[in-house]
């Protein structure tokens, strides 16, 4: 058996019952999560260098990024421009600004980065965002775009309007003269960070959360609108997703209203679910707009992608620099500071391609029970990407919840020995596949002929009791963990809206739009099993099973089969307002789900295209 198992794992053959599975990964198309906009890269700083390379090298490098990977999102860096005599910045980071200290514009500036942006558009990129790292030096407290002495606020309060006028003027120029319309403008990159200090190696500017960040966002929005531009404000671009939550909470309500899309970086933090909560509570779209790491194998990046897509559910995921020099940061390795016109390919390129080539714009993510996998559907294709751990394993992929499933799947794998290797077609028998997955590998599975049908749940819903017609409700919308749930008359409140979160294997969870907490069972018979709101602790008290009753549902706790969610028909009798009780087919045990709001505001079609296969 050991010989057979090792052979299966190495070759990634379909094992179809030949060996026992280590675990089952179930996919559930009844729940639809985010609809994909695209994968992307920032152009800072590599485009500033690569755009000046001779042909055919610069085109070849861009073709690899935007054609082979199929990236459709490009983030353009509007440079501030350093003061004469200051030369602490690395060569690659010296992005020239367009605005002169005299108030005139040099529209010949930044030709290299602009060339790459145009090349990206020609290769199919169709989502463009502009962002700034610093205002021009004369608008700063320190007189330098590298930051303030000591890392404090560096944008002069009296220069906020002048700064956003500069940014909006550049955005207008791109639209009117260069044929690039930026969907969004992020006024400042990582503003809460305190490492933007005078004499640093790149542009950076601290702007404190709260009033200062609010003023910057409001000014940017007003400046864009004043020019009649369709470009909207995005933010807050914090480096750590924990800070994205605290900075968002510190914004004024007027500033929040001005933000079209919440952008976060994920260089650290464990607040992916909280970022999702803030975005969806406020009716905003959400991107993971920057991440990078020094692992040239791509495995660290791949695990981050899976975590972000599952927990935060962004509609786009953007790598920092697809081309970078040294330390394993780039998919392509180029010494940008030396201007070296040679490159090497890191395995990270193929690791990224395992996602970017197969999960295309327009795809909808669906739940999969394996925490190391993501799954999406687009047309008749189901795509699963599994990022393995440190052990060889056999995985049973259960697709039984689909109406139809094709008879074959095609596999592509990146591992220590393979670079997005096409492993050929493998049989799917009775809507199941059993595959060997090698340690520290990325396997993409594309299943054809999939019939998903209409989703039962997408976005937010209300849950209505069949007895009173009242809705499942977080009393007063309190964010206090442990608050017992109740039912109340429909009032349109966010505390009566719930996102149905699929686990993938027939279990469901209900997340409050108002609080971001889950409807959880308090597993205590002495308290008559109250249902309350609780954080995601991975416990099965969060898990429920749904049984259709023809227009309504019985909601059964996983922990206590045979019992179900019930609205107390007689308030004041010592039982909680909402609890569980043995099923007796009472109207108060039958719940109707009605759509209340989409996960994110809708966007027009993105003109999706596929990347070229290797």
What is the rounded CA–CA span in Å between residue 328 and residue 261? 30
Report DSSP state, residue 526. G
**Residue the block writes with tokens 């094709």:** 406
**Three-point CA angle 309, 500, 241, nearest 5°:** 35
What lies within 8 Å, CB to CB, of 472 at 6+ separation is 462, 463, 464, 465, 485, 487, 496, 498, 510, 519, 578, 591
| DSSP of 108-128 | TTTHHHHHHHHHHHHTT--EE
Q: How many residues does the chain have?
A: 614
Nearest to 291 by CA among 75, 43, 120, 41: 41
**Residue the block writes with tokens 């695990």:** 303
- Nearest 5°: phi and psi at 376? -145, 155
**Coil, strand or helix at 589:** helix
DSSP β-bridge partners for residue 594: 462
For the question of residue 190 being annotated catalytic, the response is yes
> Tokens in use for 198?
């005078």
What's the alpha-carbon Rg for the chain, to the nearest Å? Answer: 26
Nearest to 438 by CA among 395, 397, 374: 395
**Residue the block writes with tokens 């043995």:** 582
- Residue 330: exposure state from Cβ atoms within 10 A (0-12, 13-18, ≥19): buried
Q: Give CA 162 to chain center in angstroms.
A: 32
**Residue the block writes with tokens 């608008």:** 139
Nearest to 182 by CA among 69, 50, 77: 77
For the question of residue 237 being annotated catalytic, the response is no
Among residues 82, 190, 203, 514, the one annotated as catalytic is: 190
Report DSSP state, residue 97. P
Among residues 290, 501, 514, 567, the one annotated as catalytic is: 290
The upper half-sphere exposure of residue 192, i.e. CA atoms within 13 Å in the direction of its Cβ, equals: 22
**Residue the block writes with tokens 């307002």:** 577
Indicate which residues carry an active-site annotation. Answer: 190, 290
């Amino acid at each position: 058996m050991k010989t057979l198992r090792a052979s299966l794992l190495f070759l990634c053959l379909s094992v179809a019952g030949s060996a026992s599975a280590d675990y089952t990964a179930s996919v559930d198309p009844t729940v639809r999560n985010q609809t994909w906009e695209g994968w992307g890269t920032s152009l800072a700083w590599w485009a500033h260098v690569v755009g000046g390379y001779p042909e055919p090298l610069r085109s070849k490098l861009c073709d690899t990024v935007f054609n082979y990977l199929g990236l459709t999102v490009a983030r353009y860096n509007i440079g501030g421009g350093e003061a004469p005599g200051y030369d602490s910045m690395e060569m690659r980071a010296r992005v020239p600004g367009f605005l002169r200290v005299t108030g005139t514009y040099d529209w010949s500036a930044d030709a290299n980065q602009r060339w790459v942006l145009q090349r990206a558009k020609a290769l199919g990129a169709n989502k463009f965002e502009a962002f700034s790292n610093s205002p021009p030096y004369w608008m700063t407290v320190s007189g330098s775009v590298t930051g303030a002495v000591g890392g404090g606020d560096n944008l002069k309060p009296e220069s906020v309007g002048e700064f956003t006028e500069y940014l909006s003027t550049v955005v207008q120029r791109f639209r009117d003269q260069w044929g690039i319309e930026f969907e969004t403008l992020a006024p400042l990159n990582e503003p809460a960070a305190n490492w933007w200090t005078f004499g640093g190696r790149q542009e950076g500017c601290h702007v404190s959360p709260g009033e200062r960040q609010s003023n910057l966002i409001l000014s940017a929005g007003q400046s864009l609108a004043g020019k009649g531009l369709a470009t909207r404000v995005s933010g807050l671009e914090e480096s750590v997703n924990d800070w994205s939550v605290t900075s968002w909470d510190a914004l004024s309500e007027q500033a929040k209203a001005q933000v079209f899309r919440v952008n976060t970086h994920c260089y650290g933090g464990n607040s992916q679910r909280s970022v999702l909560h803030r975005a969806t509570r406020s009716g905003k779209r959400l991107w993971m707009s920057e991440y990078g790491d020094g692992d040239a194998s791509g495995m660290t990046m791949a695990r981050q992608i899976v975590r972000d897509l599952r927990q935060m559910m962004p509609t786009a995921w953007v790598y920092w620099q697809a081309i970078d020099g040294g330390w394993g940061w780039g998919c392509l390795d180029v010494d940008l500071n030396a201007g070296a016109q040679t490159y090497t390919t890191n395995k990270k390129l193929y690791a990224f391609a395992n996602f970017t080539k197969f999960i295309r714009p327009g795809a909808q993510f669906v739940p999969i029970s394996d925490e190391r996998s993501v799954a999406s559907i687009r047309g008749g294709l189901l795509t699963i990407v599994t990022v393995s751990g440190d052990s060889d394993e056999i995985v049973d992929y259960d697709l039984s919840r689909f109406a139809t499933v094709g008879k074959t799947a095609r596999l592509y794998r990146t591992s220590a020995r393979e670079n997005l290797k096409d492993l050929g077609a493998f049989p799917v028998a009775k809507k199941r596949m059993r595959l060997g997955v090698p340690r520290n590998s990325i396997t993409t599975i594309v299943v054809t002929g999939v019939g998903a049908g209409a989703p039962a749940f997408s976005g937010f819903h209300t849950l209505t009791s069949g007895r009173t017609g009242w809705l499942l409700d977080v009393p007063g919308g309190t964010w206090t963990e442990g608050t017992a749930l109740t039912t109340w008359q429909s009032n349109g409140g966010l505390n009566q809206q719930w996102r149905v979160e699929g686990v993938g294997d027939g279990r469901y969870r209900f997340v409050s739009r108002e609080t971001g907490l889950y409807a959880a069972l308090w597993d205590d018979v002495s308290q008559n099993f109250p249902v309350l709101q609780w954080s995601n602790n991975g416990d099965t008290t969060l898990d429920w099973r749904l049984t259709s009753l023809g227009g309504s549902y019985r909601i059964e706790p996983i922990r206590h089969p045979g019992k179900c969610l019930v609205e107390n028909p007689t308030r004041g009798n010592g039982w909680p307002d909402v609890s569980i009780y043995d099923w007796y087919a009472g109207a108060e045990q039958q719940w109707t789900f009605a759509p209340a709001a989409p996960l994110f505001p809708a966007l027009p079609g993105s003109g999706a295209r596929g990347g070229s296969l290797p």
